[in-house]
A and B are shown apart, each in its own frame.
Chain A
Amino acid sequence: MSPLLTVDRVSKRFPLKATLIDKLTAGLGNRRAGGTVHAVTDVTFEVARGEVLGMVGESGCGKSTLGRIVSGIYAPTEGTVRLDGEPVARGRDDHVDKLTTRVQMIHQDPFASLNPRMKVGETISEGPRIHRLVPASDVRARTRALLEQVGLEGAYADRFPHQFSGGQRQRIAIARALAMQPDLLVLDEAVASLDVSIQAQVLNLFLDLRRDLGLTALFISHDLSVVRHVCDRVAIMYLGRIVELSPAEQLYAAPKHPYTQALFASVPTLGTGRRAFRPIEGEIPSPIDPPPGCAFHPRCPFAGPRCRAEVPRLTASGPGRTVACHLNDGGVGLKEAA
């Protein structure tokens, strides 16, 4: 079966706005002038129908940008995003036309993602009404049904967002996305801003909805334990690139990329008695000026000369797994000039 979502060699670069001072100091080595943020670089993956793909990485690794490209909010600088072969959006850098209603996004912060001056019933019913997804006479009944489906009372349709808690608001945001009858949901850190107990409730809601509606989703998160709960496959991102893509079980059993291993090592765990967990050495390099070769080499304990010179490609490593590391592809030493 052909995949639902195809992301093919997508890159996204944001030009930095150079101020007059930047231009004047450009000769003095100021890199802001004419600089570019490499938010996403050469990312390729597919999501099958009914699958939930996790997208994990540190903040600033480009996973949210990728989510917005898939949702049709940003247009990619290079590459294509297709849903069943149809492009998701069309446009240049600052003006994007989204072409489909079949991808819907759920934002991180439910306190910012709902219009404070609109009743939640209207927030939910607006999209389907405008796109005539339901007959006008059914709109009210469907809004109530959606609210009940996400575990709220139908009568809440007449209230304003500020009358709800964070968890309830996130349920409303989910109802708004479901109202568009999407084929693909993009959840951008959808539970990160909620209390842990509320996180569990919203995650359970998501799992229930997935079971009942057969949802396909791109689940963006920085939280490995949350991702393990809900995802079939997991992609690990570092500085705009996917470094490892693997079925969730295998990834958690045996991470292959040194960055993935470091990420797992830095997760604080209960029960091991370990007080101090090990942070990854060093800082994330700047996406304005990414290091040459493998982006992870300045922090990688296994880095060799080849890592400084050559960008590793995603290569197969076991069934359904790909890793972008020279360790997995001929070693870290420089190849002899043949």
Chain B
Amino acid sequence: MSDVATTTGETLAVPSAAPIETRATRLRNFWADFRRSWVAVGALIVIVALLAVSFGAPLVAPQNPYDMASLDWMDAFLTPGETGTGGYVHILGTDNAGRDMLSAIFYGLRTSFTIGVSAGALALAIGICVGLTAAYFGGRVESLLMRIVDLQLSMPAILLALVLVAMLGQGVVQIILALVVAQYAYFARTTHGAATVERGKDYIEAARSTPLPTRRVLFRHLLPNVLPPLIVVATVQVASAIALEATLSFLGVGLPLTEPSLGSLISNGFKYIHSDRYWLSIYPGLFLMVTVVAINLVGDQVRTVLDPRRSR
């Protein structure tokens, strides 16, 4: 292109030493900001530890609670710290079937995390599509979609999930589906709000007037610019999905005890709480609480860091 070369005579004052912001440095800046709250860092460590023990449960847990053969009736209702027939210490005791509570909690956490994260991710994907479509196309499409979302938001999520699980039946997939239907509306509302602001900006008009295909304008131009608030909502919604699943299981419409989740463990233990076997429900409950609180604390800090009004 030497025949065209630079067509301007004057030299430009160009800040050539300006730092190049790559994805890596942006991540590093994010971490530097995130680190400022030691509470959030602590919560993150807790989450990572819980994830490790739950997904590493077959390696860490002394017993496989799914394996009925490894359960022994002789070990039923051992108090925390007792040694059972297996020859190891049941740190958190055992339940009515002789399950080691610690193992059951680790496996239960795994189920809870799996359900929470997959329901959150699916609801995020669906919510993004609904919210972007509504904001971008406007008019009747927008009115229709957002009225449905509003209608759903006006009902408690637990009620909707209860009805759905009752209709769909028990099982992990059914629970995830029910949670997605109950939760996508939060993502749709957030996406719609952010996208309505962004779609009026000139860069969207420029992309449309190039012209670029609608799908590309939506997912390459609009979506990346509405993502930050969605990340925050996603963390909070994962925590609430875990809590919802526990509630459903506690109410008896969730998962059976042979596939323990934290909710079904609490529900099972609840039956024995008046016979002084507190450990059957207290410990799973404690783990549930710590998990939900930790995820919310991390979500809060992510929100603070991503807030554009915060000066850097």
In the complex, B36 has a CB within 8 A of chain A: no
- Chain B contacts of A205 at CB under 8 A? 7-8
Q: Mark B207-228, 1 if CB is under 8 A from A, else 0.
A: 1111111001000110011000
Closest A-chain residue to B216, C-beta based?
A: A130
A130 to B212, CA, bound (A): 7
Assuming the contacts A107-B202, A159-B20, asked whether A151 and B212 have C-beta atoms less than 8 A apart, the reply is no
CB pair B7 A152 closer than 8 Å: no
| Number of residues from A at the complex interface, CB < 8 A | 47
Q: What is the distance, in angstroms, from A252's C-beta to the closest C-beta of chain B?
A: 26
Chain A residues within 8 Å of B, Cβ to Cβ: 71-73, 94-95, 97-98, 101, 104-105, 107-109, 112-118, 126-127, 130, 145, 148-153, 158-160, 162-163, 165, 167-168, 173, 176, 180, 201, 204-205, 208-209, 212
Q: Which of B10-18, B150-158, B167-175, B255-263 contacts A (4 or more CB under 8 A)?
A: B10-18
CB pair B202 A109 closer than 8 Å: yes
CB pair B224 A151 closer than 8 Å: no
In the complex, B205 has a CB within 8 A of chain A: yes
- Chain A contacts of B209 at CB under 8 A? 71-73, 98, 104-105
Give the bracket for the number of chain B residues in contact with chain A.
35 or more
A152 to B210, CA, bound (A): 22
Which single member of B4, B20, B139, B211 contacts A72 (CB below 8 Å)? B211
A109 to B12, CA, bound (A): 20
Interface contacts beyond A126-B210, A150-B7: sample of 9 additional A-B pairs, CB < 8 Å, sorted by A: A73-B208, A112-B203, A115-B207, A115-B221, A115-B225, A126-B216, A149-B1, A204-B8, A212-B4
CB pair B138 A209 closer than 8 Å: no
CB pair A152 B4 closer than 8 Å: no
CB pair A208 B4 closer than 8 Å: no
Assuming the contacts A107-B206, A113-B202, A118-B220, asked whether A145 and B211 have C-beta atoms less than 8 A apart, the reply is no
CB pair A180 B210 closer than 8 Å: yes
Assuming the contacts A94-B139, A117-B225, A159-B20, asked whether A151 and B6 have C-beta atoms less than 8 A apart, the reply is yes
Which single member of A165, A180, A212 contacts B7 (CB below 8 Å)? A212
What are 22 contact pairs spanning A and B, CB under 8 A? A72-B211, A73-B205, A94-B138, A107-B205, A107-B206, A113-B202, A115-B207, A115-B224, A118-B221, A118-B224, A126-B212, A127-B212, A149-B4, A150-B8, A152-B12, A153-B16, A159-B18, A168-B14, A173-B206, A201-B8, A204-B9, A209-B7
CB pair B1 A163 closer than 8 Å: no
Q: What is the distance, in angstroms, from A40's C-beta to the closest C-beta of chain B?
A: 17
A176 to B209, CA, bound (A): 12
A35 to B209, CA, bound (A): 28
- Chain A contacts of B9 at CB under 8 A? 204
